[in-house]
Structure 1
Amino acid sequence: MPEVSVPLLPVQPQKSQKIDLTQEYPCPCRRRGHLTQIALTEAFGCSRCQQIFVVEDSGYVLEQLSTNYPYKRAWRWNGHQWMIANAGLGESYLPVAMGVILVMLSIGLPLALSSPSNSNVVLWAVVLLLLALLPALMILLAYRR
């Protein structure tokens, strides 16, 4: 039986590419809009969300101009999609929240189980539950639009 060669799909480059001001790009806000250049500027406007984005870092970073977030949102173009440029603590709420919950449980559970009366166990359980909801509330507020 002859061998059948299957064409391999091209691998998407992960290296960021320089942003061309004359091209049209998809909106990085994921609202299905398209970015087009604003005349006589190094900025783009979105056709859907009406946000303005400026080109920074010698043409490799697209930064959102007006934002309600406490940190600037920025993306790099890899040729196919936008990749978050400044992924720091602001972009990693979930691991931080899980770490906080793990620390609370590792400290709170031994304290709750070591108390002799049943009423203290219930009190500790309520306190731990309320403290566990705090990181969940932080994540909810951080990721809402």
Structure 2
Amino acid sequence: MRGRRAYRARFVAAGAAVVTVAAGLGVRAVADGALAKYAGDALYTVLICALVALCAPRARPLTVAGTGLALSWAVELSQLTGVPAELSRHSAVARLVLGSTFNAPDLLWYAVGAAAAWGVHTAAVASRAPGPRTSASR
């Protein structure tokens, strides 16, 4: 039963990752400026959280959100070194994953994304948790 639960959790996490990418592309298609940028920042962290949940399906929601936030902040803070900017000049993938320029407000929006991912993950776990068995549920 545990293996089946982990498989289901991975399937949901993979679906969440796909939906998150679609949401990011959708935001970019219909909005621009600060709205698109900061929504993209939040969704970047949501995507990282989905990938963490995919890799560690039994991880608690707070662990997943905290890991996603820590990775997002690490990427943003690494931009202070100039290494991501240099890599981004040579690779579109590096530009998408690492960015190029540090922007302090991004740190806040990553936290917003982590909080959103935590809320959705917590709700999903609660909906899968077995409740008290009653005669009607047997």
Fold match by TM threshold 0.5:
no
| Superposition TM-score, scaled by structure 1 size | 0.28
Structure with greater strand percent = 1
| Superposition TM-score, scaled by structure 2 size | 0.29
Larger Rg computed on CA atoms: 1
Structure with greater helix percent = 2
